[in-house]
């Protein structure tokens, strides 16, 4: 089981990171888990050049080249983001936009997510679901959402957030096992 955990928040130990760690704790010990902290990466925005369509990848030389390899390697991809102005973080949005030329290459990978937000998380969830659907990924579940979070910390005010994060991890493992049970 190859799992890629994408931390989209600028806070490495913030609420969405804690939620993602809860989800990851449900994976079996033998699962191979790679973690990517987007705050540590240099990911340029997508450019207007269309040569990426001919190449099949974006040829801007930055940390995205390594992330492509991680995305291709993974069987399960789990995203964590805080909701910034009603959407995913700018770092995660840059990653998503840079995957445009690899459409179809993430097909049938299992995807999941956790989101921390104060309010207005619907657009954030829609962006994550749309990303996975456009790549023909298998949506693991409806995700885990922390609604009462306003500042770093505060996750303890939302009793369902960590519980749902664990459920997200369990569901991703369950789907993996269903898909790979005959292999």
pLDDT bucket at 90, cuts 50 / 70 / 90:
very high
Q: Rounded distance, CA 52 to CA 165, Å?
A: 36
**pLDDT for residue 179:** 94
- Tell me: pLDDT of 183 over 70: no
Q: Give φ, ψ of 156 to 5 degrees.
A: -65, -15
**Structural domains in the chain (count):** 1
pTM of the model: 0.93
> What CATH number is associated with residue 139?
3.40.50.360
pLDDT in tens, 4-15: 999 999 888 888
The residues, any chain, with a CB within 8 Å of residue 80's CB and separated by 6 or more, are 5, 6, 7, 8, 9, 16, 17, 19, 20, 113, 114, 115
Give residue-wise pLDDT tens across range 109-155. Answer: 999 999 988 777 888 999 999 999 999 999 997 777 776 565 666 77
pLDDT at position 178, please?
Answer: 95
Overall average pLDDT of the 87-111 stretch: 93
Q: What is the DSSP letter of 5?
A: E
Give the model's pLDDT for residue 165.
Answer: 92
CB atoms within 10 A of CB 63: 15
How many angstroms separate the CA atoms of 32 and 118, rounded?
A: 32
Q: Which domain holds residue 156?
A: 2-180
């Amino acid at each position: 089981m190859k799992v890629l955990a994408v931390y989209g928040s600028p806070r490495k130990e913030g609420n969405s990171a804690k939620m993602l760690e809860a989800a990851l704790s449900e994976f079996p010990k033998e699962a191979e888990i790679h973690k990517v902290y987007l705050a540590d990466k240099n990911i340029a925005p997508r450019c207007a050049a269309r040569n990426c369509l001919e190449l099949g990848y974006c040829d801007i030389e930055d940390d995205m080249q390594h992330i492509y390899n991680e995305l291709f390697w993974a069987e399960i991809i789990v995203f964590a983001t805080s909701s910034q102005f009603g959407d995913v973080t700018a770092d995660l949005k840059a990653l998503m936009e840079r995957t445009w030329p690899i459409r179809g290459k993430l097909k049938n990978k299992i995807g999941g997510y956790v989101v921390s937000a104060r309010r207005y998380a619907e657009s954030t969830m829609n962006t994550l679901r749309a990303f996975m659907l456009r790549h023909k990924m298998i949506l693991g579940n409806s995700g885990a959402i922390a609604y009462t979070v306003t500042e770093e910390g505060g996750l303890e005010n939302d009793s369902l957030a960590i519980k749902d994060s664990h459920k997200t991890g369990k569901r991703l493992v369950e789907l993996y096992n269903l898909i790979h049970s005959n292999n």
